[in-house]
Amino acid sequence: MHKIDMNQVKNIVTDIVSKHTVENVAFVGCGASKAELYPGKYFLDHNAKKLRAYHFTANEFNTDTPAWLDEHTVVITASLGGTTPETVKANSVAKAAGATVVSVTHTPGSPLTKEADYVIVHGFEADYAAKLEKMGYVMALALELQQQTEGCPVYEDMLIGYDNIFEMAENSAQSARKAAKEFAVAYKDAPVIYFMSSGASAEVAYSSSICLTLEMQWINSGSFHSGEFFHGPFEIVEKGVPFVLLMNEGQTRPVDARALTFLHRFDALTTVIDAKDYGLTNAVPANVATYFNPLLHTAVFRVYAEEISYIRQHPLTKRRYMWKLEY
Amino acid sequence: MHKIDMNQVKNIVTDIVSKHTVENVAFVGCGASKAELYPGKYFLDHNAKKLRAYHFTANEFNTDTPAWLDEHTVVITASLGGTTPETVKANSVAKAAGATVVSVTHTPGSPLTKEADYVIVHGFEADYAAKLEKMGYVMALALELQQQTEGCPVYEDMLIGYDNIFEMAENSAQSARKAAKEFAVAYKDAPVIYFMSSGASAEVAYSSSICLTLEMQWINSGSFHSGEFFHGPFEIVEKGVPFVLLMNEGQTRPVDARALTFLHRFDALTTVIDAKDYGLTNAVPANVATYFNPLLHTAVFRVYAEEISYIRQHPLTKRRYMWKLEY
| Model confidence pLDDT, tens digit, residues B106-117 | 999 999 999 999
Query: Best residue in B83, B228, B293, B309 to probe A by mutation, most A CBs within 10 Å?
Result: B228
Mean pLDDT of A295-312: 98
For residue B1, give how far its alpha carbon lies from the nearest alpha carbon of chain A (Å).
31
d(CA B124, CA B130): 5
Q: Which residue of A has its CA nearest to B212?
A: A232
Structure confidence at residue A308 (pLDDT):
98
| Model confidence pLDDT, tens digit, residues A196-206 | 999 999 999 99
Of B54, B86, B222, the CB nearest to A221: B222
Structure confidence at residue B2 (pLDDT):
73
Structure confidence at residue B1 (pLDDT):
62
CB atoms within 10 A of CB A19: 10
Q: Do A251 and B63 touch (CB under 8 A)?
A: yes
* Position A323 pLDDT exceeds 90: no
Closest CA to B127 of B277, B298, B310, B324: B298
Residue B80 — very low, low, confident or very high, per pLDDT cuts 50/70/90?
very high
The single-letter DSSP state of residue A248 is P
Mean pLDDT of B315-320: 94
* Position A2 pLDDT exceeds 80: no
Structure confidence at residue A5 (pLDDT):
97
For residue A270, give how far its alpha carbon lies from the nearest alpha carbon of chain B (Å).
17
- Residues in contact with B76: Cβ distance below 8 Å, sequence separation at least 6, in sequence order: B25, B26, B27, B28, B37, B40, B101, B102, B103, B104, B138, B141, B142
Share the mean pLDDT of chain B. 97
- Taking each helix axis as running N to C, give the angle between helix A289-311 and helix A31-47, from 0 to 180 degrees, rounded to the nearest 10: 160
Instruction: Count Cα atoms within 13 angstroms, Cβ side, for B327.
Output: 24
* Position A250 pLDDT exceeds 80: yes
* Position A3 pLDDT exceeds 90: no
Among A318-322, B34-38, B249-253, whose mean pLDDT is lowest? A318-322
Structure confidence at residue A1 (pLDDT):
61
Beta strand segments in A185-241, E: 192-197, 220-225
Q: Do A207 and B235 touch (CB under 8 A)?
A: no
* Position B28 pLDDT exceeds 70: yes
The ipTM estimated for the assembled molecules is 0.97
Among A320-324, B230-234, B284-288, whose mean pLDDT is lowest? A320-324
For residue B197, which phi and psi values (nearest 5 degrees)? -160, -175
Query: Best residue in B47, B56, B60, B73 to probe A by mutation, most A CBs within 10 Å?
Result: B60
Share the mean pLDDT of chain A. 97
Chain-centroid distance of CA A120 in Å reads 17
Structure confidence at residue A179 (pLDDT):
98
Is the distance from CB of B58 to CB of B77 less than 8 angstroms?
A: yes
Beta strand segments in B86-230, E: 100-105, 118-121, 192-197, 220-225
Q: Do A236 and B220 touch (CB under 8 A)?
A: yes
| Model confidence pLDDT, tens digit, residues B167-181 | 999 999 999 999 999
Structure confidence at residue B3 (pLDDT):
83
The single-letter DSSP state of residue B128 is T
The single-letter DSSP state of residue A30 is -
Mean pLDDT of B297-306: 98
d(CA B149, CA B160): 21
Of A59, A251, A327, the CB nearest to B64: A251
Using a pLDDT cut of 70, give the percent of chain B over it: 100
Of B58, B216, B252, the CB nearest to A63: B252
Mean pLDDT of A79-108: 98
Q: Do B64 and A233 touch (CB under 8 A)?
A: no
Mean pLDDT of B300-317: 97
Q: Which residue of A has its CA nearest to B201?
A: A60
